[in-house]
């Protein structure tokens, strides 16, 4: 069963670091080298110095321990949960609410924690090396569960002053420390017995499993109801933000594909192969950011697979569409846009056009990709609609894995709000 527990978190001391705004950062995997430099320049305590230290993981570990010893980082007196609220704009003002705590690790074989994306081996190796050096979870995973009745508020109400209040990249994040024993018990009870779906942080969860295995090579994490808590077995837990599927602030954005180099396929050859496999609607490329094409794309029902295609050297945009196909004994995910994009557009069509080992990049922001294709910096770009929450849930329940970067939950959780020690 799912076990979500309060823990003694480690946080930055406000009297040492001052404002938290220049201290936090997005997750490591969305930080470019240039962004890392900007983050590190913003404060001597920016968390990018831990999660992406220029001098390597050993230097990050030394810095982490120095901050602990000097009082820059301080631990809670007792186990707590952290109520985390993000306020942002996405088709109007929204608010997403969840709780940060210590989630007991479950092997995927138990079915309690379910994934929906494949992961990159090199990312897991890198994060495991960092975890071994620092011996702490520096960033939370993002998990979802279904509980329409879930309602959690700060102990002194929403108008009370938050323990952490930061604004990063236009998103306001507030955190309240929850200490009331009855409230802590109710949060744990709200999760217990539920199936958890990893929304974001697949690499971090698998890294937590790998770290535990490195400490206990002959025994998986205990899964019984009497499994030890975080105070006794912190390495059997992972820092997690959990929220309900039903939260009205749950926003999933698409992650678009940029074909930086088509691996030998020319734009004309790729266009011919796409036309063989899809019906094409042609639009004049009159909007610099592709807004008209993306608006048309969003209006197409999910009974069809549909994508906006931009090809280098062409002064028009395409909407490639075709009816969703479900084979009699096929998988749950075979008809999803992201599966068709990888198997047909980036697979069959690109290979038939002569593309071999194409260089593909990922971005949730569409406008720069239109510009790069238009100016000839990239060979092509493929733009997607967001995956529906029920599609992701179906994939998880079926135990099927989608391609990397299939979902982009917006906004990203901040790193630097609280850490989880992996040593007693």
Please check whether residues 205 and 160 belong to one and the same domain.
Answer: yes
As a whole number of angstroms, the distance between CA 18 and CA 423 comes to: 28
Residue 326 lies in a domain: yes
Read off the pLDDT band of 315 (50, 70, 90): confident
Residue range 170-189, pLDDT digits in tens: 999 999 999 999 999 999 99
Q: What rounded mean pLDDT belongs to the chain?
A: 93
Read off the pLDDT band of 268 (50, 70, 90): very high
Q: Which residue has the higher pLDDT, 331 or 266?
A: 266
Read off the pLDDT band of 416 (50, 70, 90): very high
Please check whether residues 172 and 282 belong to one and the same domain.
Answer: no
Residue 391 lies in a domain: no
Average pLDDT over residues 328-333: 80
Q: In a 10 Å sphere around its CB, with 0-12 CB exposed, 13-18 middle and 19+ buried, how is residue 196 labelled?
A: buried
Determine which helix (DSSP H) or strand (DSSP E) holds 269, and give its type and residue range: helix 267-277
Tokens 């099927």 found at: 400
Q: Which residue has the higher pLDDT, 197 or 223?
A: 197
415 forms bridges with which residues in the sheet?
Answer: 25
As a whole number of angstroms, the distance between CA 252 and CA 263 comes to: 31
Q: Is residue 280 scored above 90 in pLDDT? A: yes
As a whole number of angstroms, the distance between CA 199 and CA 412 comes to: 11
Of 315, 298, 410, nearest to 370 by C-alpha is 315
Please check whether residues 166 and 243 belong to one and the same domain.
Answer: yes
Q: Is residue 390 scored above 90 in pLDDT? A: no
What was the pLDDT predicted at 181? 96
Q: How many domains does the structure of the chain reveal? A: 2
What was the pLDDT predicted at 83? 98
C-alpha separations of 139 from 189, 256, 318, 398, 414 in Å: 24, 24, 39, 28, 8
Residue range 32-86, pLDDT digits in tens: 999 999 999 999 999 999 999 999 999 999 999 999 999 999 999 999 999 999 9
Read off the pLDDT band of 191 (50, 70, 90): very high
Please check whether residues 263 and 228 belong to one and the same domain.
Answer: no
Please check whether residues 90 and 227 belong to one and the same domain.
Answer: yes
Q: Is residue 404 scored above 90 in pLDDT? A: no
Residues constituting the chain = 424
Residue range 334-372, pLDDT digits in tens: 999 999 999 999 999 999 999 988 999 999 999 999 999
Please check whether residues 354 and 366 belong to one and the same domain.
Answer: yes
Please check whether residues 301 and 226 belong to one and the same domain.
Answer: no
| 121-134 vs 202-215: helix crossing angle, rounded to 10 | 60
Distance of CA 294 to the CA centre of its chain: 23
Phi first, then psi, for residue 69 (nearest 5°) are -70, -30
- Residue-wise DSSP of 240-283: EEEEETT-TT-EEE--EEEEEE-TT--HHHHHHHHHHHSEEEEE
What was the pLDDT predicted at 26? 94
As a whole number of angstroms, the distance between CA 167 and CA 409 comes to: 18
Tokens representing 37 are 């430099």
Could you give the 3-state DSSP secondary structure of residue 14? helix
Residue 390 lies in a domain: no
Residue 403 lies in a domain: no
As a whole number of angstroms, the distance between CA 52 and CA 60 comes to: 8
Please check whether residues 241 and 271 belong to one and the same domain.
Answer: no
Q: In a 10 Å sphere around its CB, with 0-12 CB exposed, 13-18 middle and 19+ buried, how is residue 24 labelled?
A: buried
Sign of the torsion formed by the C-alpha atoms of 409, 410, 412 and 418: negative
Average pLDDT over residues 15-42: 94
Residue 54 lies in a domain: yes
Residue 64 lies in a domain: yes
Please check whether residues 159 and 147 belong to one and the same domain.
Answer: yes
Q: Domain span at residue 349?
A: 255-385
Residue range 210-257, pLDDT digits in tens: 999 999 998 888 887 788 899 999 999 999 999 998 888 999 899 999
Q: Is residue 122 scored above 90 in pLDDT? A: no
Residue 404 · residue 124 · CB < 8 Å: no
Residue 401 lies in a domain: no
Please check whether residues 262 and 243 belong to one and the same domain.
Answer: no
What was the pLDDT predicted at 227? 86
Please check whether residues 25 and 122 belong to one and the same domain.
Answer: yes
């Amino acid at each position: 069963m799912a076990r979500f527990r309060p823990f003694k978190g480690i946080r930055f001391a406000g009297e040492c670091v001052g404002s938290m705004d220049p201290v936090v950062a997005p997750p490591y995997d969305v930080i470019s080298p240039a962004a890392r430099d900007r983050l590190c320049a913003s404060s001597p305590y920016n968390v990018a110095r831990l999660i992406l230290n220029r001098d390597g993981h050993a230097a990050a570990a030394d810095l982490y321990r120095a901050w602990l010893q000097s009082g820059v980082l301080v631990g809670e007196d007792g186990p707590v949960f952290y109520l985390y609220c993000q306020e942002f704009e996405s088709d109007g003002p929204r608010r997403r609410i969840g709780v940060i705590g210590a989630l007991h690790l479950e092997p995927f074989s138990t079915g309690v924690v379910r994934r929906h994306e494949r992961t990159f081996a090199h990312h897991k190796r890198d994060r495991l090396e960092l975890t071994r050096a620092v011996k702490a979870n520096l960033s939370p995973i993002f998990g979802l569960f279904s509980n329409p009745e879930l309602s959690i508020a700060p102990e002194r109400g929403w108008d009370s002053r938050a323990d952490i209040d930061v604004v990063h990249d236009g998103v306001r994040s507030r955190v309240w420390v929850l200490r009331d024993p009855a409230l802590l018990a109710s949060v744990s009870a709200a999760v217990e017995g539920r199936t958890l779906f990893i929304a974001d942080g697949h690499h971090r969860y698998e890294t937590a499993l790998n770290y535990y295995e490195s400490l206990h090579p002959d025994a998986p994490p205990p899964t019984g109801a009497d499994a030890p808590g975080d105070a006794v077995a912190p390495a059997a837990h992972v820092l997690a933000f959990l929220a309900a599927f039903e939260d009205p602030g749950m926003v999933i954005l698409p992650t678009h594909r940029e074909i930086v180099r088509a691996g030998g396929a020319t734009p004309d050859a790729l266009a011919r192969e796409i036309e063989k496999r899809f019906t094409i609607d042609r639009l004049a490329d009159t909007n610099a950011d592709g807004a008209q094409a993306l608006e048309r794309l969003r209006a197409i029902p999910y009974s069809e697979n549909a994508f906006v295609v931009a090809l280098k050297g062409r002064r028009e945009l395409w909407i490639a569409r075709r009816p969703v196909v479900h084979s009699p004994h096929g998988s749950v995910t075979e008809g999803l846009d992201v599966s068709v994009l990888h198997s047909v557009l980036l697979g069959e069509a690109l290979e038939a056009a002569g593309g071999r080992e194409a260089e593909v990049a990922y971005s949730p922001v569409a406008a720069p990709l239109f510009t790069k294709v238009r100016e000839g910096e990239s060979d092509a770009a493929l733009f997607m609609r967001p995956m529906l929450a029920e599609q992701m849930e179906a994939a998880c329940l079926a135990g099927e894995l989608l391609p990397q970067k299939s979902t982009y939950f917006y906004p990203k959780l901040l790193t630097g709000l609280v850490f989880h020690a992996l040593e007693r």
